[in-house]
Amino acid sequence: MPTAAQSATPTRARKPAAKPTRAPRQQDAVAMLREDHKKVAALFDEYEKARSANVKRRLVESICAELTVHTTLEEDIFYPAFKAALKDKELVPEAKVEHQSVKDLIAQVRGREPDGEDFDAKVKVMGEFVKHHVKEEQNEMFPKATKSKLDLVELGRQMAERKQQLMAQ
């Protein structure tokens, strides 16, 4: 049964709870991707310093998981939007080739034992590929995206939603 107060104010929206709900923090797409880049670079740095196989195994798993989600978000959401908005015929195709090189290396290390110099070499080369690729995204692609008519906040929203799904898998 409605209380007197509720039935007395049929049109006015009820006051929101005093405690603020979580601030709607929607990062734009470029900020999200940059954050991922930073995170992965730090993981590669940690790998360089790591000595034990356990630590290396954990770091490689994190690197591969992060890169897999990141490249999927770019390939499925960011790159197609960028390509369409900028009529790009160069940056996105090149970026996808670079992603493929990284994925080939991921396939060679993921779930394997970090058992020596050959393994370390693969991780190192992967780190170098990623560094080069990130530089191109940040120096060429992202500035163009920022200056374009792309709705980066909306793209960020789509990417955040997709990321949650991918992380849950």
Q: Which residues bind Fe ion (CB under 5 A)?
A: 33, 74, 137
Least separation in angstroms between residue 120's CB and Fe ion is 23
Q: Which of 73, 72, 74, 67 shows the shortest CA–CA distance to 105?
A: 67
Least separation in angstroms between residue 22's CB and Fe ion is 27
The vertex-164 CA angle with 45 and 43, nearest 5°, equals 5
* Cα–Cα distance list, 32 to 106, 119, 126 (Å): 22, 30, 21
Least separation in angstroms between residue 49's CB and Fe ion is 24
Nearer to Fe ion, 33 or 152 (CB): 33
Nearer to Fe ion, 55 or 85 (CB): 85
Least separation in angstroms between residue 76's CB and Fe ion is 12
Nearer to Fe ion, 88 or 137 (CB): 137
Nearer to Fe ion, 112 or 135 (CB): 135
Nearer to Fe ion, 28 or 137 (CB): 137
Residue 1: which residues within 8 A CB-CB, separation 6 or more? none
Least separation in angstroms between residue 50's CB and Fe ion is 23
Residue with tokens 């849950």: 168
